[in-house]
């Protein structure tokens, strides 16, 4: 079965989605990712969707879910590189992914992840939603 | 009838001169001649009763062209109408000279009237079409020029919105803004609405959508230019803008942007020299 590779980079997990997502693939990614977070005890997850050009409500919800799931497992998540058209589609669908942090590109996303992790380690027992 | 072409044309042009205050002889003469020639040809070719016959297609085309071009040049519908009706008068005058028998003259005049009246309706359709083309083009131009995305600082883009925000425009605004954010790699976008005359719940909805889309890209969006009236309206309508950064002026929005980027604007030390 086709799977999206999840790369481990130190404390972070790196996922780059290079194909257009279909339902089964997205569901697999969701479960794979939470398992990987547990296995590697990761502190941050970075999802690069810069080559995803089509997205529907299901995919939008999966992305939101991944963010919230990793958050309750103690890992910060950032979605990077969303295309303008995708952002507009999600907004029209009413999915604003409020629980997930976003960044323009991988570099900025990494920066954001690091600062978020620093912040959450500073106040380890208090995981409030900080502004991105 | 054909032999009398020149007579009709002369008579018509004279009438046009009399009616029109800003008569442009060369231009109009060409148009009128085209029209008169093809009209008389059609009259000769086809049976006079059948005004929808093929023969008149060319005449209609020419007439349509004249009406559209006159509309674009800013003639009033009245002037275009008079233009066509003076042709009818010229035609009828020549007809009266030619035909002696009142009964035949009456019958022929009726037929001519019918044909010309039909053409008058066509002229107005053409006229309105011409005007609509002008309006459509202007609308396009306004949409084009009214959504400029300005790069105000490294990593900060601003978009001043002028005029009412409707769904179609929001779409254009959003597209341009998001595209620019991605192209310039900006982290902060300032949406200045000081040029928006009125804010209702629909406009607010559009603004919130734009802000959400910007956030999805990973940039922060500041709305500036909230005038006192707008603040009042927003609160009275019960619109929740609490999770959007809003500022009253573009300057304070820029200041906020600088703070977020950890930038500082300092006054230069030393004496000021006017170079």
Which position has the higher pLDDT, A18 or B111? A18
* Lookup result for tokens 């690069």: A48
Chain A touched by B270 (CB under 8 Å): no
d(CA B273, CA B275): 6
Closest approach of chain A CAs to the CA of B262, in angstroms? 14
Helix B102-145 crosses helix B77-98 at what angle (to 10 degrees)?
Answer: 160
d(CA B9, CA A129): 84
- pLDDT for B222 equals 92
Tell me what the mean pLDDT of segment A79-95 comes to: 88
Residue A90, domain extent: 6-122
**Which residues in chain B land under pLDDT 50?**
21, 46
For chain B, residues classed under CATH 1.10.490.130 are 2-142
pLDDT bracket for residue A130 (50, 70, 90):
very low
Number of structural domains (chain A) is 1
Residues near B229 by beta carbon (within 8 Å), at least 6 away in sequence: none
Token code pair at residue B11: 């008579």
- Answer yes or no: is A85 within a domain: yes
- pLDDT for B271 equals 66
- pLDDT for B90 equals 76
Nearest CB neighbour to A91, from listed B182, B186, B209: B209
Which position has the higher pLDDT, A127 or B198? B198
Chain A touched by B175 (CB under 8 Å): yes
DSSP string, A65-106: HHHHHHHHTT-EEEEE---HHHHHHHHHHT---TTSEEESSH
DSSP conformational letter for A125: T
Which position has the higher pLDDT, A6 or B107? A6
- pLDDT for A19 equals 82
Report the mean per-residue pLDDT for chain B. 78
pLDDT single digits (tens) B125-139:
888 888 888 888 888
Q: What is the CATH classification number for the domain harbouring A29?
A: 3.30.750.24
- Answer yes or no: is A127 within a domain: no
Contact A103 B220 (CB under 8 A): no
CATH level 2 (architecture), domain B2-142 = Orthogonal Bundle (1.10)
Closest approach of chain A CAs to the CA of B256, in angstroms? 15
For chain B, residues classed under CATH 3.30.750.24 are 150-260
- Answer yes or no: is A35 within a domain: yes
Of A22, A86, A88, A115, nearest to B173 by C-alpha is A88
Nearest CB neighbour to A88, from listed B178, B182, B220: B178
Contact yes or no for B247/B222 (Cβ under 8 A): yes
- Answer yes or no: is A83 within a domain: yes
* Mutation choice for A interface testing from B156, B171, B177, B218 by most A CBs within 10 A: B218
At A15 the three-state DSSP class reads strand
Here the ipTM equals 0.72
Contact A102 B209 (CB under 8 A): no
* Mutation choice for A interface testing from B216, B219, B256 by most A CBs within 10 A: B216
d(CA A59, CA A61): 5
pLDDT single digits (tens) A53-70:
888 888 888 888 888 888
Chain A touched by B52 (CB under 8 Å): no
Phi/psi at A119 (nearest 5 deg)? -65, -45
* Lookup result for tokens 């950032």: A78
pLDDT bracket for residue A129 (50, 70, 90):
very low
Report the mean per-residue pLDDT for chain A. 84
The alpha helices in chain B, defined as continuous H runs, are 5-19, 25-45, 57-72, 77-98, 102-145, 167-184, 201-217, 228-237, 250-260
Question: How many CB atoms sit inside 10 A of residue A36's CB?
Answer: 18
Contact B181 A104 (CB under 8 A): yes
Token code pair at residue B21: 């205050």
- Answer yes or no: is A74 within a domain: yes
Window from A90-104, A116-130, B222-236 with minimum mean pLDDT: A116-130
What's the CATH code, domain B150-260?
3.30.750.24
């Amino acid at each position: 079965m086709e799977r999206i590779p999840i790369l481990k980079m130190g404390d972070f997990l790196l996922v780059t989605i290079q194909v257009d997502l279909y339902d089964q693939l997205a569901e697999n990614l969701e479960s794979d990712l939470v398992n990987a977070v547990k296995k590697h005890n990761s502190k941050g997850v970075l999802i690069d969707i810069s080559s995803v050009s089509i997205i529907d409500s299901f995919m939008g919800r999966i992305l939101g879910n991944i963010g919230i799931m990793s958050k309750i497992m103690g890992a910060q998540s950032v979605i990077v590189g969303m295309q303008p058209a995708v952002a507009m589609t999600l907004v029209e669908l009413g999915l604003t992914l409020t629980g997930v942090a976003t960044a323009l590109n991988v570099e900025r996303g990494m920066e954001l992840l690091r600062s978020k992790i620093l912040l959450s380690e500073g106040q380890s027992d208090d995981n409030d939603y900080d502004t991105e | 009838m054909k032999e009398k072409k020149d007579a009709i044309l002369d008579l018509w042009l004279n009438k046009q001169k009399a009616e029109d205050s800003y008569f442009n002889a060369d231009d109009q003469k060409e148009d009128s001649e085209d029209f008169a020639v093809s009209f008389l040809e059609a009259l000769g070719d086809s049976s006079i009763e059948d005004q929808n016959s093929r023969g008149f297609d060319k005449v209609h085309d020419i007439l349509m062209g004249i009406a559209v071009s006159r509309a674009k040049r800013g003639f009033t519908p009245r002037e275009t109408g008079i233009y066509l009706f003076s042709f009818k008068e010229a035609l009828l005058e020549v007809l009266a000279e030619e035909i002696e028998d009142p009964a035949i003259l009456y019958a022929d005049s009726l037929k001519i009237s019918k044909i010309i009246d039909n053409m008058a309706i066509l002229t107005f359709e053409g006229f309105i079409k011409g005007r609509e083309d002008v309006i459509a083009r202007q609308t396009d131009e306004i949409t084009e020029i009214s959504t400029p995305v300005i790069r105000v600082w490294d990593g900060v883009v601003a978009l001043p919105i002028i005029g009412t925000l409707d769904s179609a425009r929001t779409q254009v605004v959003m597209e341009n803004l998001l595209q620019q954010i991605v192209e310039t790699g900006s982290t902060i976008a300032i949406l200045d609405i000081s040029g928006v005359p009125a804010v209702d719940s629909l406009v607010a909805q559009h603004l919130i959508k734009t802000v959400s889309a910007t956030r999805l890209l990973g940039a922060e969006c500041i709305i500036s230019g909230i005038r006192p009236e707008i603040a009042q309206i927003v609160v009275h309508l019960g619109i929740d803008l609490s999770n959007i950064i809003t500022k009253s002026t573009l300057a304070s929005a820029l200041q906020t942007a600088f703070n977020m980027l950890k930038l500082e604007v300092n006054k230069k030390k030393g004496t000021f020299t006017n170079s």
